[in-house]
A = this chain, B = another copy of it.
């Protein structure tokens, strides 16, 4: 990932990266991916094909491309879209800075689109034909490196491999009059999911040999590999979040999962004022029971952009900037400028909560407050969501602890919701 930060699901320690345990594994074989995205999204009941539906402002397919792109050993990602969506896809690749991504023009069915993608490796001399090709779905954004690695390794060994899941509902066959003919024993069958992977020559040959009926009405690449290349794919149990975003409720679920992922970390930044440092420490401790990973940093360190860059690379999209009084939000302004420079908000909104200790009476709607609202409006355009939070600083330790608990609840809600409507609002703990 060259674009500064990527979205990926946290491992148990709150975040994961290329360097995290286990993920250094390399398949030791050349690998590329085909991402069919030619669907018209008719099952969503809406006009926009589901792969282009926006989640937190960003098209679903961009999340999926990113999931593949962050795996360094995938050489090329061929995204196959229908001819009318080529320009849209180009602008997505540009806007979100996707690398190693090539757009191909798709066919009229899923199989024809995949075939178009595979052909790119043969007809385009600039794209090296891989030994193993991954086939994934544009509408399965939560695919993890772990399952991709497993199907690639199995494809290398068996020629073909695919992720499966237990069936959620019983599968039945109906008679021509719309009545039950028979039901299948749920235990004996599995749902075929994605990703799948193949030795390139096996799947390419299968597509070459299959007939028009297969290309127009087939749904299963593993079936083609079996029928035309005599290869019984290895089946690999995948995690539940491999599911396919198909209906409106799936979009809601995907949004919530993405929010959950990007709200796992928060970085507390304080200036050197004594009260601010104390409150920062208190908030740091209190937030630990709300957020998976809390980091702290002084504003001075923050100005060294390497420090901040590292935090952003570690999947942290949430910042709390603590200064003393409300009128003093230059620190917030400085931080906004540094964040803007990193470009990290291209892929995900950044939440920045400007925390001020103050007597409530002083927090009246002063001219500084007006500038704060204006700043918030301005940086919202850059996908940085700025909120204000006043903590009533109290000498009484017990009361201060209570206030910190309220503040942590508000901070967690702001981070989790990422609601653009509340940008520029001043909450009170």
Q: Which residues of A pack against B, CB within 8 Å? A: 43, 158, 160, 162, 164-165, 167-175, 178-184, 186-193, 217, 219-220, 222-223, 226, 232-235, 240-241, 243-244, 246-250, 252-257, 360-361, 363-365, 409-410, 412-413, 417, 419, 421-422, 425-428
Contacts and interface: CB of A to CB of B under 8 A. Distances in A.
Q: Pick the 5 closest A-B CB pairs, nearest first.
A: A252-B256, A413-B421, A249-B253, A253-B253, A360-B365
A182 B189 CA distance: 10
Contacts of A181: 232
Contacts of A363: 364-365
Contacts of A417: 417, 419
Contact of A180 (B232, B410, B413): B232
Contacts of A158: 179
Contacts of A226: 180, 182-183
B220 A192 contact: no
Contacts of A217: 187
A15 B327 CA distance: 47
Contacts of A168: 191, 244, 246
A171 B193 contact: no
Contact of A422 (B169, B179, B248, B410): B410
Contacts of A172: 164, 189-192, 220, 222, 235
Contact of A249 (B186, B256, B361): B256
A174 B235 contact: yes
Contacts of A365: 360-361, 363-364, 428
A12 to B, nearest CB: 13
7 contacts: A158-B179, A169-B192, A170-B192, A179-B232, A240-B249, A249-B253, A361-B364
A73 to B, nearest CB: 25
A191 B172 CA distance: 6
Nearest to A260: B252
Nearest to A249: B253
Given A178-B234, A249-B256, A410-B422, A171 B183 contact: no
